[in-house]
């Protein structure tokens, strides 16, 4: 590859990293796959069709692995379920997945409503709701309570503060360009990230040790994981446990907060959607009922279609494989560009229009719509995330009458840490309390 070609390839990678939705949507109508060269990872062959998505998502574990290095590794750690492969991934997933079964997670719906109520309690007519900030606060508080069972306010604030600082320290450049991760005599962006990660690990170790010493077993995820073993009778080591808990704190909170912000943006941008959501909310009273509302669920699904918070799904092949008719070799990295797949005009009617009704009419194929990935690596928290979003949105809208502060050009998605986020704060005005 010539110097000019290399520069062009790196420019494409930078565009994909900074504006993933804009970059990948340009390929929505492409039938042929396209390549992007990522620093440290190498060339990735992206697919945007159902055939490509099917072949990538159904790859057997023996023929692929998580591609490394991964931009999120500095935050979640190399033992994270997201980064493990093969037998190590299977064993870790067998320990971590059971606590996230949908029927168990529904026990936390009242807690989600409580966290939402607490965040908006002080708002009065005339105030402005900073949607992104509120969404981050709500979802982080939920994760801290659900995963760790932390009820002490001071301890929750500690976890929240350190987690927020860790995620903010992982800027796009630091995450995407490995050679920037240098400690300069204890200073610089990398040193800050490492310091916050160490602080969070200290809090995690304290929580684990306290739970073991006391013998207390609550109904939270940590309690379930401490009691669990894989099919060979092995429990997670402390190092692996910290990495998995850090993944839940970071990845689970970041993705849900982003989806919550986007959903509220679209609801209040379209009076028709807002009115239909409010009419449906008026028919129920409890958090458990909020999680069953079909139109609200469709709004959330449509939000995840338009704005998949993790925009790419990647696999590194460990053996030769044909993907959507393309012969690939061992070592190749193949991927799905979700922003392109989700607005592919051959798969969706009016793909760039926010239309929740499409999810009431039919259920899309998992190879047409994959906001949580798929196959044996599908996100273990998917069911909980959907319930969390429904309860948070429903609780907030049943308590506050909101209106957009401005209806100008909408924000776009940009890379921020674990997930993509709106490029600017979404602001809604409080008209009244209900």
Secondary structure (3-state) at 430: strand
CA distance 82 to 59: 16
CA 132 distance to own-chain centroid: 14
Pairing of strands 333-337, 42-47: parallel
Residues at the binding site for heme are: 379
Q: Are 259 and 304 in contact (CB under 8 A)?
A: yes
**Cβ pair 112, 391 in contact under 8 A:** yes
Pick the closest to residue 412 from 4, 23, 87 (CA basis).
23
**39 burial via Cβ count (<10 Å: 0-12, 13-18, 19+):** middle
CA distance 264 to 214: 41
Helix (H) or strand (E) holding 174: helix 172-176
Residues in CB range of 66: below 8 A, 6 or more apart: 82, 83, 84, 85, 89, 314, 315, 316, 377
Half-sphere exposure of 41 (CA within 13 A, CB side): 27
Residue 234: strand, helix, or coil: coil
**Two tokens, residue 361:** 């009419």
CA angle (258 as vertex; 298, 260 as ends), nearest 5: 45
Annotated binding site: 379
Q: Is 284 helix (H, G, I), strand (E, B) or coil?
A: coil
Residue 184 DSSP class? B
Nearest to 357 by CA among 365, 349, 366: 349
The pair of structure tokens assigned to 14 is: 């930078």
How far is Cα 264 from Cα 135, in angstroms, rounded to an integer? 10
| C-alpha closest to that of 261 among 434, 129, 145, 117 | 129
Measured CA to CA in angstroms, residue 100 lies from 11, 221, 310 at distances of 39, 8, 19
């Amino acid at each position: 590859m010539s110097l000019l070609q290399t520069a062009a390839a790196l420019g494409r990678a930078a565009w994909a990293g900074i504006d993933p939705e804009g970059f990948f949507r340009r390929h929505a109508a492409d039938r042929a796959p396209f390549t992007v060269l990522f620093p440290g990872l190498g060339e990735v062959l992206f697919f945007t069709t159902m055939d490509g998505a099917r072949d990538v998502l159904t790859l057997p574990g023996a023929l692929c692995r998580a591609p490394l290095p991964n931009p999120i590794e500095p935050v979640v750690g190399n033992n994270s379920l997201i980064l493990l492969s093969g037998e190590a991934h299977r064993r870790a997933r067998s320990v971590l997945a059971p606590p996230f079964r949908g029927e168990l997670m529904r026990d936390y719906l009242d807690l989600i409503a409580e966290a939402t109520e607490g965040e908006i309690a002080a708002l009065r007519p005339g105030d402005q709701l900073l949607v992104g900030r509120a969404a981050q606060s709500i979802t982080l508080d939920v994760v801290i309570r659900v995963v760790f069972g932390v009820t002490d306010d001071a301890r929750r604030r500690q976890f929240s503060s350190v987690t927020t600082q860790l995620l903010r320290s992982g800027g796009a450049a630091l995450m995407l360009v490995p050679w920037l991760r240098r400690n300069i005599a204890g200073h610089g962006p990398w040193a800050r990230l490492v310091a916050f990660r160490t602080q969070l690990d200290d809090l995690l170790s304290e929580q684990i040790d306290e739970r073991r010493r006391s013998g207390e077993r609550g109904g939270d995820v940590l309690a379930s994981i401490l009691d669990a073993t894989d099919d060979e009778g092995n429990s997670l080591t402390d190092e692996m446990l910290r990495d998995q808990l850090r993944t839940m704190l970071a990845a689970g909170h970041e993705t849900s907060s982003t989806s919550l912000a986007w959903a509220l943006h679209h609801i209040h941008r379209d009076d028709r959607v807002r009115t239909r959501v409010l009419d449906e909310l008026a028919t129920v009273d409890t958090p458990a009922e909020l999680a069953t509302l079909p139109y609200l669920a469709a709004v959330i699904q449509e939000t995840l279609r338009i704005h998949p918070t993790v925009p790419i799904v990647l696999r590194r092949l460990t053996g030769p494989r044909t993907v959507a008719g393309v012969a690939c070799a061992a070592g190749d990295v193949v991927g799905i560009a979700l922003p392109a797949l989700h607005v592919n005009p051959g798969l969706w009617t009016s793909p760039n229009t926010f239309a929740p009704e499409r999810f009431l009419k039919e259920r899309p194929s998992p190879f047409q719509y994959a906001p949580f990935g798929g196959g044996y690596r599908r996100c273990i928290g998917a069911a909980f995330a959907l319930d969390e979003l429904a309860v948070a949105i429903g609780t907030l809208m049943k308590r506050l009458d909101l209106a957009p502060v401005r209806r100008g050009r909408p924000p776009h998605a940009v890379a921020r840490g674990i997930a993509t986020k709106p490029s600017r704060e979404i602001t809604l005005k409080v008209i009244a309390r209900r």
